[in-house]
């Protein structure tokens, strides 16, 4: 029996004004740098009775990166990282779903810089609400950890103290509010 309410069944569109698609990566081996994208869209088709039949897509405008530092944002857009001029979109398309306790793990194809690799995103369902305008809302938090080198994002610099400027592991964070479509 599913832990998800029947009202969750349907098509849901990301409300980008109330959602965050971001990442965190260790810098200089001593701190964490965070960033997010200002422009993205996506949807999920959810079957509450059979969550394994659910699916989702996400499309991110790679040029919309915001880390709080214009120079760093420009470097991330460059060919050293995701080459946004030639690869303006970062995409995720789910290929399967499975339950993990009360969470749903979506496996899918993540494409960055023209390279597509599988990734598992673990989703936590946060609940349902109806806003003052009558729109049904659902909340989800998604997390995944990827190796940026798997996507050819290998630019780095050695540190005098050992190690590298930018860690290979990147934590993806998706804090999603979605509007019910059907």
**Exposed/middle/buried for residue 6 (C-beta within 10 Å: 0-12, 13-18, 19+):** exposed
| Rounded average pLDDT over 39-54 | 95
What backbone phi and psi angles, to 5 degrees, belong to 13?
Answer: -110, 135
With tokens 């979605």, the residue in question is 178
Which CATH number belongs to the domain containing residue 74 in this structure?
Answer: 2.40.128.110
Structure tokens at 27: 């810098």
Strand partners, 133: none
Q: Is 1 part of any domain?
A: no
Find the domain containing 66 and state its range. 6-180
Tell me: the pLDDT tens digits for 47-76? Answer: 999 999 999 999 999 999 999 999 989 988
By the 8 A CB rule, do 172 and 23 touch?
yes
Q: Report d(CA 64, CA 125) in Å as an integer.
A: 27
Q: Which residue has the higher pLDDT, 148 or 178?
A: 178
Domain assignment of residue 115, yes or no: yes
């Amino acid at each position: 029996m599913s832990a998800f309410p029947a009202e969750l069944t349907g098509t849901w569109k990301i409300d980008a004004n109330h959602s965050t698609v971001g990442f965190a990566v260790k810098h200089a081996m001593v701190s964490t740098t965070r960033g997010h994208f200002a422009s993205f869209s996506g949807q999920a088709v959810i079957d509450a009775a059979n969550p394994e039949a659910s699916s989702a897509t996400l499309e991110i405008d790679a040029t919309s990166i915001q880390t709080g530092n214009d120079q760093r944002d420009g470097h991330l857009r460059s060919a050293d990282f995701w080459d946004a001029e030639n690869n303006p979109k970062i995409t995720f398309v789910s290929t399967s779903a499975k339950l993990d306790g009360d969470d749903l793990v979506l496996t899918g194809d993540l494409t960055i810089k023209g390279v597509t690799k599988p990734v598992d995103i673990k989703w936590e369902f946060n609940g349902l609400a109806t806003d003052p305008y009558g729109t049904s809302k659902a909340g989800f938090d998604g997390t995944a950890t990827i190796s940026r080198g798997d996507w050819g994002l290998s630019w780095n610099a050695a540190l005098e103290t050992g190690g590298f400027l930018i860690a290979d592991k990147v934590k993806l964070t998706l804090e999603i509010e979605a509007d019910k479509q059907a």
